[in-house]
Amino acid sequence: MTIEKYRHPILFYGLSIVIPWVLWFIAAYISHIESSNHIYVIVESILGIIGLASPMIVAFILMFLDSDLRNDLFKRLFHFNAIKPFYIIVTCFLMVASILLAQAISLLFGYSPSQFFLAEKFSFSAGLFPAWFLLFIAPLLEELAWHSYGTDCLRKRFNLFTVSIIFAVFWAFWHLPLSFIKDYYQSNLVETGVIYSINFSLSLIPFVILMNWLYYKTGRNIIIAIVFHITAGFFNELFATHPMSKVIQTVLLLILSIVIVIKERDFFFKLEYQEK
């Protein structure tokens, strides 16, 4: 099986956290330098985007050394014939449905109906790069790493549930330096309140479970993972959502992921992966 060739999880995950952390902590230091010199913003932005892209670069280097992995990557990027429409619908609309439902539930606790209005501005910035650009480029670069090499090199060794938990924990730590870069999303969360920072980390658990479920149900299709990731960021920025509604959304997604894991126990807990 092709998945057996994804053999270097320690190398991949080691480089994928060390390189971004080094670049992002430098960017964090630069972001807090008070200066009218635009060179600081330029350097901070470049370091941020290189750090974001570095896991993808590591993954591509590991894959391009093997012709079977190159062919596997091409197949998973461009083959859509085997994907059932149900999974496409879930991929495109689950996240918007969950945030709208979470906002509706928040009304019962006294939060404002104005959450359903479109947001007047984004909740973060990223140096030279506009927020809308990051909402699309970040999922693209990340999933070309996590679901080109990262997930499969873990799946070779563990069942899908374990893979999802391991990766969710890794991903939470991977984002840590972003909490120190001025005006980044994670940094703004810290200023909003500790409960919302904790919620961001915890939300990764159901999110990863659901994304990996879609990924393997669609024959390891990378585009599915990219689109699902994009919808998560885009729809959570589209509305004037109160941060507490995002906490409610996490609970809703956690309930859904538990139901899916229970319903498809073999799919999540069977060690051997069956290629489609």
Residues with active-site annotation? 142, 175
b/e 61-81 (16+ beta carbons within 10 angstroms → b): ebbeeeeebeebbeebeeeee
Other Cβ atoms closer than 10 A to 127? 23
Cα distances from 215 to residues 24, 63, 65, 228, in angstroms, run: 29, 19, 24, 10
DSSP 190-203: HHH-HHHHHHHHHH
Tokens matching residue 88: 């496409």
Q: What is the largest CA-CA distance in the chain?
A: 58
Tokens matching residue 119: 């947001």
Task: Find, among 82, 201, 216, 227, the residue nearest to 155 by Cα.
Answer: 216
- Asked whether 48 and 191 are in contact (CB, 8 A), the reply is no
Other Cβ atoms closer than 10 A to 156? 16
Q: What is the DSSP letter of 148?
A: I
- Asked whether 224 and 83 are in contact (CB, 8 A), the reply is yes
| SS3 assignment for 36-89 | CCCHHHHHHHHHHHHHHHHHHHHHHHHHHCCHHHHHHHHHHHHCCCCCCHHHHH
